[in-house]
Structure formats: C-alpha cells, structure tokens
Amino acid sequence: MQITAPRSKTKFLFIELNPSLACFSNKLAKTLAAQGSEVKRWCFNMDPDEACQSREIVDLLHKSLAESGEPTVLISHGISSIIAYQLAEAFPNQVRALILLSADASRHSTWQDQYHKIRKMMPCSRKNILTHLSHLLTGHHCPNFLAATTKLLEKSVDSEFCLSSIGDSESEAPYKRIERPILVINGDNDFVIDRNSKNRWNHLLKNGDRYVSINDGRHFHQHTHTDQISAEIANFTEMLLNDKQIDECISSLSQLEN
C-alpha cells in the first residue's frame, strides 16, 4: 500500500516593525499568495509615550504565534529581521524557517542607524537627509515617488520602532547559531548592508541554508526585484515542504503499525 502525505501550502508570516514601510513588501506578499501560499502580516505599532526594547517585541510575537499552534515561515525585512532571528533563538518550535531580506549579521546595520549617524555628522535638515536616503534605499529617480518615500521614512523615524537614536542605542548582542533553515537575500547595491555581509553570515549559516545576492538590488529590493525574490523563496520552501512530507509519511506509517 502506498501512503501519500497531503501536500500542504506554505504559511508565510511577514513581520513588520515599521508598518509605514510595509507597502514595499506588498508586491512580494501578493505574488506569494497568487502562487497558492497562505500569507499573513504581523505589525507592531509602538506607543510613542512608552520605551520599548526588542525583547518585549519578541515576547509579543511569541504570544501571537502560540495562538496559531503551528510553526510558520517568517519573512522579515531590515530591522524586522532582528526580531525574527531573536524569536527563532528563543522559541525555535514556533519557527519553520527564516527568510531575511536586507539583513546583516550585525544587529545595527539598519537604515535607521545610518540615518542617525548622518544626522550626527551633517548640519543639514532631516528632510534633506531623508530625501537623499529615499534615492539610496530604492534606486528610484522619479520625484513623486521619492517625495512619497521621504514622507514614509519621516513617519517611520518619528513614530515607529528602531534600535538607534541620535542620542543612544540599544545594546547589541551577537546572534547565536540556530537550527532552523535560513534564507538571506540582500541587494548587492545596498548602501546599508554592504557586500561583505555574506562573510559576516558565514559562521551562522548551516548546510542547506542559503545566502543570495540580488544583482543591482537596493535596500528595498523586495519591491523592485519581486519576481526574482519570489523564485528564490519558492526554491527554498520547496525543500522545506519535501522535509515536511517525509515527516508526515513517517508519522502515518507509525500510526498504521500501532
């Protein structure tokens, strides 16, 4: 008798610590959903009157995932990747795999950190800095697009979570190696995550993990290179589904023997 485990669709959860910038991931989320995956979002809206540490956000995300009852593939970009990785360290049973976009092995390699460094060094207005960052982060030249992006960055800086500030920053703790599968996708033209990032990830990546560099990709490459990134994710998750099907077949055989 042949036992065939049912093919289950991949469940993705986008982690969004900066909801104002979630629009840059919309195309990728829609593409994954169109391919038959289940796609959800988890957004963190920070109270501007309360201090917040990354550990508190990890605990909140842990409680949300505990309600679902099944390990999920987490997709995160930039600063959200820090929270996703910390969750996988602390609560590995809740994570099926990690897909990290524009992510470095250094926790302070974020566009917000770059912004605050520039503010300290250069005596120009924050709007001018954010306008310049809009081009560096996206690679776009359209004035209307850059104006809209500048407003989104300004809103994010003013009201959303970041690890750094003009005055100080949250203390940095190095990542520990985790057992969950990891896919890191960075742009090779990202001024935030430099091209040596692959070397910094080497000691954390295991056999089966992948590091992908997107040719001409900027910091928000999930918006500009959606098809290429969705293809990389499909190849990565196909491996995960095969492993899961093997586990389900073994479980089915065990039940028959009992």
With tokens 């499909």, the residue in question is: 234
> Would you give the DSSP letter of residue 106?
S
Instruction: Indicate the range of 58-62, 65-69, 196-200, 205-209 predicted with least confidence.
Output: 65-69
- Choosing among 3.40.1190.20, 3.40.50.1820, 3.40.50.300, 3.40.80.10, the CATH entry for 11-108+174-257 is 3.40.50.1820
Q: Hey, where are the domains in the chain? A: 11-108+174-257
d(CA 187, CA 173): 24
Supply the pLDDT for residue 8. 61
pLDDT tens, 47-66?
766 667 888 999 999 999 99
Q: What is the pLDDT of residues 68-86, one digit of tens each?
A: 778 899 999 999 999 999 9
pLDDT at 211: 97
Q: Which of 230, 217, 212, 225 is nearest to 139 (CA)?
A: 217
With a cut of 80, say whether residue 160 has pLDDT above it.
Answer: yes
Residues 93-114: what's their mean pLDDT? 91
Span 195-205, average pLDDT: 94
